């Protein structure tokens, strides 16, 4: 990918991420997103000006690093279709496991992942710092693709 394109993409993703997450400490900067996008085995799905998913994959395992949908497009099936597209991509690469972590207070995302067949398998206590004095757990989820 060309450097200017990937930099522009990281800025678009950061803008969507900023608008999608209420807690300031959970928002990704364009610099951080750029650092993700240039890593080997990392890719993305982008629904232009609506939402995106950044994921990585190694052999038969993958991880959703982050997914964000603009608030005005949430609950309209965009996140659902992004994950379904991701599943198709991964299966075509013989990758059959998807892992993710989600903030325990992100009920919209948790509901989406459960609807898609993800199962909780643990948590990371006080993983996300959402303010100076408050931390919340990360729920660990996985799905086996068939």
The structural domains of the chain, with segments of one domain joined by +, span 3-144
Q: Please give the model's pTM, rounded to 2 decimal places.
A: 0.91
Architecture per CATH, domain 3-144, reads as: 3-Layer(aba) Sandwich (3.40)
Predicted pLDDT of residue 20: 86
Cβ pair 105, 74 in contact under 8 A: no
Report the C-alpha dihedral over residues 100, 103, 104, 109, rounded to 10 degrees: -70
Question: Which tokens go with 43?
Answer: 């890719």
Distance CA 91, CA 138 (A): 26
Distance CA 97, CA 30 (A): 28
Mapped onto helix, strand or coil, the DSSP state of residue 74 is coil
Predicted pLDDT of residue 29: 86
For residue 143, give the nearest of 104, 122, 123, 113 by alpha carbon: 113
Distance CA 78, CA 52 (A): 9
**Which residues in the chain come in under a pLDDT of 50?**
none
Tell me the three-class secondary structure of 94-117, residue by residue: CCCEEEEEEECCCHHHHHHHHHCC
């Amino acid at each position: 990918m060309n450097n200017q394109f990937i930099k522009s993409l990281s800025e678009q993703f950061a803008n969507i991420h900023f608008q999608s997450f209420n807690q300031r400490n959970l928002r990704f900067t364009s610099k951080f997103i750029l650092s993700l996008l240039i890593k080997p085995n990392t890719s993305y799905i982008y629904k232009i000006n609506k939402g995106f998913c950044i994921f990585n994959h190694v052999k038969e395992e993958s991880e959703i690093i982050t997914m964000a949908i603009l608030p005005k497009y949430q609950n309209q099936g965009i996140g659902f279709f992004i994950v379904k597209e991701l599943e198709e991509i991964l299966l075509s690469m013989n990758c059959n496991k998807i892992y993710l972590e989600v903030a325990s207070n992100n009920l919209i995302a948790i509901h989406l992942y459960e609807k898609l067949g993800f199962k909780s398998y643990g948590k990371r206590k006080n993983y996300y710092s959402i303010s100076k004095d408050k931390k919340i757990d990360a729920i660990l989820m996985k799905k086996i693709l068939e």
